[in-house]
Amino acid sequence: VAPDGRFQSVSVQLAHFLGYSVETLIGMGMDQITHTTDHLRECAQLELLQARGAGKFSLLKRFRHPERGLVWAEQLVLLMPQVDGRPPVFEVHVREPMVSDQTLNELHRRAFRDPLTGLLNRASISEQIDSAIMAGNRLGRSFALLLLDIDGFKQVNDTHGHLAGDAVMQQLGRRLNATMIERDLTGRLGGDEFVILLRSATDDFALKRGQKQVLRCFDAPFTLPKGGQADKIALGASLGMAAFPRDGCTVTGLLTRADHRMYEEKRSRLSA
């Protein structure tokens, strides 16, 4: 596999497992046949390999099979330096797992997803931010992240109960997933704090567009289950932004900058 993720050579056995001919796979990109979330995790590991200049990694991932849909596989990737000065290539080994797809789906959900909202959990979204930083340093790319805090969420819990608060976060998770484009990722840090990784925000115009998309998730009221009936409540949000590399070059630095801006916005709105 070339540094840009395109297949350069493919074995007949791998082509058969993936459901394509050898000729079809040559020139295709790994992103074209890999589940989006898994490919982003894969890219994080590839960035680490290229930064080190040597090494290997393995991961469980889902391939897009043209007939069977998503199929799980165990993948081993080695970075292979070239002796003639050409860019290194990746040697990829794939094999079918020893456990069922159903078991792997459940393990994946527990490892990478927030159990309440279904969004990426804190560890997983932090890994994606770190991957974006490495790619930004290597390729000169910029990106941004947004930190979101639900205004008045404590009052929802205090007045309507924690089940109502959970319902609000679940609805917000679905709205965020439906709003963001495929390259952007959303995760829950904990409590009522969410982070949105805007990989597509390469300039200020794209960043403002991403902010508007997030705030649209609060245009409609949220449904609160109560005694067999559904109450509606309108809520707002405070946002804090941090752009790479302008506001920081580490996961902690970017999250800290976004956190400060989020609470500055919240305080200014409350004082007004």
Q: What are 67-105's pLDDT values in tens digits?
A: 999 999 999 999 998 777 788 899 999 999 989 988 998
Q: What are 149-188's pLDDT values in tens digits?
A: 999 899 999 988 899 999 999 999 999 999 887 778 999 9
Among 111, 135, 157, the domain boundary falls at: 111
Co-location of 34 and 128 in the same domain: no
Q: What's the structural domain count of the chain?
A: 2
For residue 195, is pLDDT > 60?
Answer: yes
For residue 37, is pLDDT > 90?
Answer: no
**Residue 131 included in any domain:** yes
Co-location of 93 and 197 in the same domain: no
Co-location of 131 and 66 in the same domain: no
The answer to pTM > 0.85 is no
Q: What are 196-237's pLDDT values in tens digits?
A: 999 888 888 888 999 999 999 999 999 988 755 568 899 999
Among 111, 146, 169, the domain boundary falls at: 111
Q: Name the 3-class secondary structure at 107.
A: helix
Which residue range(s) make up the domain with 156? 115-271
**Residue 4 included in any domain:** no
Co-location of 194 and 233 in the same domain: yes
Co-location of 142 and 257 in the same domain: yes
Co-location of 252 and 207 in the same domain: yes
**Residue 242 included in any domain:** yes
Q: Return the structure tokens found at 241.
A: 């932004």
**Residue 6 included in any domain:** no
Co-location of 96 and 122 in the same domain: no
Co-location of 224 and 148 in the same domain: yes
Q: Write down the pLDDT at residue 109.
A: 87
Q: Write down the pLDDT at residue 63.
A: 96
Q: Write down the pLDDT at residue 101.
A: 87
Q: How large is the average pLDDT for residues 43-53?
A: 86
Peptide bond before residue 221 is cis, with ω within 30 degrees of 0: no
Q: What is the CATH number of the domain that holds 28?
A: 3.30.450.20
Residues 145 and 258 sit within 8 Å (Cβ to Cβ): yes
Q: Write down the pLDDT at residue 228.
A: 52
Co-location of 79 and 197 in the same domain: no
Co-location of 123 and 65 in the same domain: no
For the stretch 223-246, what's the b/e string if a residue is b when 16 or more beta carbons lie within 10 angstroms of its beta carbon?
Answer: ebeeeeeeeeeebebbbbbbbbee
Q: What is the CATH number of the domain that holds 220?
A: 3.30.70.270
